[in-house]
Structure 1
Amino acid sequence: MHKMTMNSIYSKLRSKNIKNYYLLIFCTILSVSLVTSFAVMFFSPTVQKILPVGGDSRKQVYLVFGIAITACVAFTTYASSLFFKYKSRETGILLSLGAKKNKLKKVFFFELSLITFISSLIGLLLSIPISFSIWKLFQMLIIDTKEMQYHIGWFGLIVGIIFCLFVTLCIFSMGVRFLKRTNIIDIINEHRKTEVIKDVKHWYKVVGIILIITGLILGYGVPLISIRYFSYHMPKIWDITFLLSVLGIYMFTTYVVIYNKKGKNSRKYYKNIIPKSMMKFIGKQTVKNMCTISLLIGGALFAAFYSPMAVSSVFYSIKHNPVDYAFYYKASENQIKKDEIYSLAKEYKVDITSYNEVKSISLIVNGINESWQDNGKITFTPIKKIGYSEFFSESDFNKVSENKVSLRPNEYLTIIETNSAETAHKKFNELNTITNPVTDISERVKYKGTIIFQPFVKKDTTKYVISDEDYQRFIENLPIENFENFVLFNVKNPDKTYDFANKLKNEIIKRSSDDVAVDTSYDEYKNKLVEKEEHKQNYKKQQHVELSSSNTQLFLNWKYYPSFTVLDHQDILKNIAVFLMLFIFISIICLIAVAIVSYIRSITIATNNKLLFDDLKRLGARNNYIERCIKIQLKKIFTIPTILGASAIYLLNILILYGNDGGRITESESISLGINLIITLSVFLFMYIIYRISFRKVKKILGI
């Protein structure tokens, strides 16, 4: 007679209950492949070049990457908990038949090691083709240029391996807790275990909603108000106030699951008493799952909302730019001239419809030096001579702008890009003193408002319009280094002039000397203030950029980078394509986690209550009543978390946009809110589809 070993017994049990292994294997493979494929893309040389080191964009990606890892860990550990519940019955029976726990432990962990190792390996191997497929899909749909080629980020594989080890550690720690129990009856009945929550009061609902809103306002709104009105930066610990929203979601979810009083409508109370009681018996599990779903939906939408916010503002400004081609350069530079531009346009069959050249002068201005103290206090120190700013004469400005201006001596207008508002860090009326760099004589000037002209506005620079009288007085004996030439022209069918624009851009880069190879924050006056030569060289070196047509970050960093609408579309698309790819991928990961958690929760409700539903059938309950009991439970599991997560993150989105522009929402931001609303509705549709799939599966399990 063949001798049965523990390994052969486990093998027999595994072959008979193989379905119970599928979920854990699938979730492990999925989580590892998703996290690793994202890491492979994120750490690829192409993405690392596009995302500036230390920039907000890179921080945003790290944040959403953390959300994705949390999502994958959530559904993998949840699948593990169900796997251990399935294993509890067979483990309990083996223990009751006299099997030694040490021997069971050895075989159990060998089996678990095999599952996690093979699943992790498959996930790692799949990550490369998944990342390649996603990259090529975005390349095909959004932008396909030589700079957007796929490269494997090998460090991403190391991140994937670390994630595998972490997931394995989580699964094994759960397995250790599972086998530590000594009560055989508890182990056998693990899959029937209930976690009842005590009754809650009606005020749970109201307080929950208040906490959700309060957490968002305190977490985001108060720091903005503190900076703007009290010049105080809230400490990092203040971010903990966001947890009030999490507590609010928990309280509201608990209320929905548990609260069930007779009230005035006793008919409705008795009609729903069975499905309500079912949810109450597994209240803790249900509430935890619903909160997890809510937070994951919030994470998915947070990632999805970022791209429309960035895209809408940029493309809105491009669309409303009155000039197709604009560039400027220092008058001391030997830059391309008008006749050469026309000759180049003729070569590329481009029709120039209007052409203007104007000059600006660099004068020393006063300003505010903003410094943050260790105690969080922000100090604003007025400085009479803080740096250079560019000034246009009113006649030159009127020549290129549709908005005609008229100024008296010692008056000025601040040129702005769009109809934006002042914020805590952006003031339009700070200028009150202009100093002539030649005579060192300072003059008081008066602020007369703002004027919109986008082609003159450049990152990290402020430009003004002054009267012709003031302009003529300032240019006397002013050295050529303090003059800048602005070239602005329009063409027919600008969207079809890409080759011409690219050639002109390359020609401008080629003719620019090393003296102007500086980034947007470089200021010549500050450079002159540095007394020691070595410090001066270090300052120039820190602000230096590589003037090369192959430099993909030049459009972000170079102070004199030309603004050609047809190229702006292309450059911005390269950056946005990366963000869309990374952030949408994160959203997909979170939604996959939501789908898995909610689907498994639905099946758990069916399997845990199958005997109860069978008893109801024997007592005469019809299939339509059973279906109704299921629908009441499933609708709450799917609807409430979706509404809570989506509403909270959409409200946060409104707060962010409202605070970004000094307490109002611009037209471009309204467009992004509309796009984000469509995305939110798409998530609701997605959840409805998962609900229908889950409902069909539950009906199949219950045989109705």
Structure 2
Amino acid sequence: MLGYKARPTDYVYHYRMDQNMIGEGETKGLAAKYGVSLKNRREGQCAILGQDGFKHIEEKGPMGITWRKEYRKLLGGDCYMSESAYNRLTGENADVKPGTFQSVLGANGEGDYMVSVDQRLLHNMVTGEKLVTGFAGYLHNAMLATRVHVLDNTDYDRITSGLTNEWLENYVFFDDTDKGDLYGFSKELFYTIVDHSGPEVEQGEYWDQAAKKIAEDAGERYEYDKETIEEHGFSAISYNQRDSSEFRLTWLYMPLFRSLDQSDFIKTMAVYLMLFIFIAIVCFSAVMVIAYTRCLTIALNNRQVYDDLKHLGADGNYLRCSARGQISRVFLVPALVGTIAMFALYSLIIYFNDGGKFTPSELAGMGNCLLLVTACSILLYGVYRLTYHNILHVLKIVKY
């Protein structure tokens, strides 16, 4: 939710240029229907270019399955934009040097682990033109993060010359004046974009257009096509399920609309939230039952010992302290060690996830986790107190 609020642009969508997409006039008419006023519309083109890389090849040998890397001059594709298009969309003043590229990350540097900084050999997938480039740093914009790379204008014009519309995409940015039925407009605009998209772009974010062409040219089957995607553990998306979590989280051309994403966040993530909550309830229930049962077992096994202590003159305070010491170890040690170890592991994952730093949204998430830790600790303490009093009853120790 912090990420949605921090977005610099209210509406962003992109589409392949061979699609019969909704235009500016139709968008304004749709906005007027919901009493929404639009402003700051700007558009910028990007191109899908082939690029080199290392392919991981699986091999079976005496030691089992191993993988080796093999360099390929043409492995897959990615989206490249000219510096002028990037500046027009974002309002920035990026200056990319000829022969280099810059990759776009989130506003706080999120996603750098998803971007390769190796030198690249770019390919025009229609003409076969090639361009050697080198990594020259990062740009930061949440609306284009981890998918777009920026080239010098001259390099871009050269490498994209002759590309057909199926290899070109158009990005559209605009804002609203925060008046009218923003959610209703956003939702209908989203549906309209889906309706204007053809079956050729009914693909998940794992789909690589360049890799598909490379496989077809080699007479091979592309493994991430809709027809074969389920063989690799993914679910094929469908325009008929546009409101499903699978579609909204993985459609390759899913738009970023602030009001839609904010309002539908719970609905979009409901299947994952409910799954995690269900697992948490099962695990915590098991912890409580096991801890209670273990404590009760200890009490029953030592009932004769406590009875003998009473006859030897031990007072109630000593017996209560002894019983408390027996059961506190069952609750305190696993809970304390588990909580500290798990939160430390979580913190390390978050820290190294974005190049050795904590972003504001990650810090907020860690704060929420601390609140959950507090709530769960209070719950476990309640179970501990209930167990303690039941143990006193079983051992027939006078309560204080």
Match of 1:524 among 209, 222, 229: 209
Contact 2:127/2:163 (8 A) holds in 1: no
- Distance in 2, matches of 1:594 and 1:538, equals 41
Structure 1 stretch displaced more, 388-397 or 670-679? 670-679
Superposed, 1:59-74 pairs within 5 Å as none
CA contact (8 A) 1:520 1:558 kept: yes
> What amino acid maps onto 1:379 in structure 2?
R
Q: CA 1:677–1:495 in 2, change beyond 3 Å: closer, same or farther? A: farther
Q: Is 1:406 the counterpart of 2:92 in the alignment?
A: no
Q: Does residue 1:646 correspond to 2:339, yes or no?
A: yes
**1:590 partner amino acid:** C
User: 1:121 corresponds to which residue?
Assistant: none
1:574 to 267, 285, 291: 267
TM-score by length of 1: 0.50
Q: Distance in 1 between matches of 2:282 and 2:111?
A: 37
Taking a change above 3 Å as real, the CA distance of residues 634 and 334 of structure 1, as seen in their structure-2 partners, is same
Q: 2:158 aligns with which of 473, 479, 486?
A: 473
1:642 and 1:619, CA in 2 relative to 1: closer, same or farther beyond 3 A?
A: same
Aligned residues of 1:368 and 1:430 also touching (Cα < 8 A): no
Q: Contact (CA 8 Å) 1:509, 1:548: kept in 2 or not?
A: no
Structure 2 residue aligned with 1:602: 295
Gap regions ≥5 residues in structure 2: 230-235
Equivalenced residue count is 385
Q: 1:623 aligns with which of 305, 316, 319?
A: 316
User: In the alignment, what sits opposite 1:361?
Assistant: 47
Check 1:554–1:494 CA distance in 2 against 1; reply closer, same or farther (3 A cut): farther
User: What residue identity is the alignment partner of 2:37?
Assistant: D
- Letter of the 2:85 counterpart: D
Change (3 A) 1:634 1:384: same
Alignment of 1:435 onto 2:128: no
Q: Which amino acid in the other structure matches residue 192 of structure 2?
A: E
Match in the other structure for 1:417: 106
- After TM superposition, the structure 1 stretch with the greater mean CA deviation from structure 2, 339-348 or 480-489, is 480-489
Provide the residue aligned with 2:232 in structure 1: none
Structure 1 residue 397 displacement after superposition: 1.1
2:247 to 541, 546, 554: 554
**Could you tell me which of 504, 520, 529 is aligned with 2:189?**
504
**1:547 Cα shift?**
2.2
Partner of 1:565: 258
Do structure 1's residue 338 and structure 2's residue 24 form an aligned pair? yes
Name the SS for the 2:343 alignment partner: helix
Task: Quote the offset at 1:358 in angstroms.
Answer: 1.3
* Matching residue of 1:392: 81
Shift of 1:559: 1.6
**1:337 Cα deviation (Å)?**
0.4
C-alpha change, 1:604 and 1:561, in structure 2 (3 Å) is: closer
Q: Distance in 2 between matches of 1:318 and 1:433?
A: 35
Q: Aligned with 2:15: secondary structure? A: strand
2:7 maps to 1:321? yes
Contact kept? 1:336, 1:508, Cα under 8 Å = yes
Q: Is the 8 A contact 2:237 2:251 kept in 1?
A: yes
Which of 116, 137, 142 is the matching residue for 1:449? 137
Q: Secondary structure of the equivalent of 1:389?
A: strand
Q: CA deviation at 1:655?
A: 4.1
Give the residue type in structure 2 aligned to 1:324.
Answer: D
**Contact 2:105 / 2:111 at 8 angstroms: preserved in 1?**
no
Task: Indicate conservation of the 8 Å contact 1:335/1:508, yes or no.
Answer: yes
Tell me whether 1:690 sits opposite 2:383 in the alignment: yes
Q: Distance in 2 between matches of 1:688 and 1:336?
A: 58
Whole-angstrom distance in 1 between the partners of 2:179 and 2:342: 39
How far does residue 518 in structure 1 lie from its aligned partner after superposition?
2.5
AA aligned to 1:449 is G
The amino acid that maps onto 1:387 is: G
Q: C-alpha distance in 1, partners of 2:142/2:307?
A: 71
Aligned equivalents of 1:540 and 1:614: distance in 2?
71
Task: Give the match's secondary structure for 2:53.
Answer: strand
| Alignment CA distance shift 1:414-1:629 (3 Å) | same
Q: Deviations over 1:596-615 (max 9, x none)?
A: 33333334444444444344
- Rounded to whole Å, the distance in 1 between the matches of 2:224 and 2:310 is 83
**Cα separation, 1, equivalents of 2:222 and 2:391:** 73
1:351 equivalent in alignment to 2:41: no
Contact residue 527 and residue 540 of structure 1 kept, 8 A: no
> Does 2:322 correspond to 1:637?
no
Matched residues in 2 for 1:421 and 1:331: separation?
27
Larger radius of gyration, structure 1 or 2? 1
Aligned-pair distance for 1:507?
0.9
Query: 2-side partners of 1:539 and 1:642: how far apart?
Result: 46
Q: Would you say the 8 A contact 1:324–1:494 is kept in 2?
A: no
Quote the Cα distance in structure 2 between the aligned partners of 1:519 and 1:604.
53
Q: 1:568 to 1:616 in 2, by over 3 A?
A: same
Cα deviation, 1:534-581, whole Å, max 9, x if unaligned, reads 957995644674223556232233222222123334554235322222
Deviation at 1:401, TM superposition (A): 1.6
Structure 2 CA distance for aligned equivalents of residues 323 and 538 of structure 1:
32
Taking the aligned partners of 1:670 and 1:677, their CA distance within structure 2 comes to 11
1:670 partner letter:
L
Answer yes or no: is the 8 Å Cα contact 1:495–1:566 preserved in 2.
no
Partner of 1:165: none
- TM alignment of 1:296-307, pairs within 5 A: none
Gaps in structure 1 of 5+ consecutive residues: 1-314
TM-score by length of structure 2 reads 0.84
Bigger helix share: 1
Change (3 A) 1:352 1:696: same
Q: What letter corresponds to residue 547 of structure 1 in structure 2? A: Y
Match of 2:174 in 1: 489
Aligned-partner Cα distance in 2 for 1:568–1:409: 38
**Equivalent residue letter for 2:55:** N
SS of structure 2 residue aligned to 1:484: strand
Structure 1 contact 328–562 (Cα < 8 Å) conserved: yes
User: For residues 510 and 580 of structure 1, what CA distance do their matches in structure 2 show?
Assistant: 29
Distance 1:414 1:532 in 2: 30
Report Cα offsets for 1:240-276 as digits up to 9, x if no partner: xxxxxxxxxxxxxxxxxxxxxxxxxxxxxxxxxxxxx
Report if the CA contact (8 A) 1:348-1:499 is conserved: yes
Per the alignment, do residues 632 and 520 of structure 1 end up closer, same or farther by CA in structure 2, a change over 3 Å counting?
closer
Structure that is richer in strand per residue: 2
How far, CA to CA, are the matches of 1:589 and 1:363 in structure 2?
48
Please report how far the alpha carbon of residue 625 of structure 1 lies from its aligned counterpart in structure 2 after TM superposition.
2.3
Taking structure 1 as reference, are residues 537 and 581 closer, same or farther at Cα in structure 2, changes over 3 Å only?
closer
CA distance in 2, matches of 1:347, 1:495: 9
Contact 2:320 2:397 in 1 (8 A): no
- Cα distance in 2 for residues equivalent to 1:476 and 1:641: 64
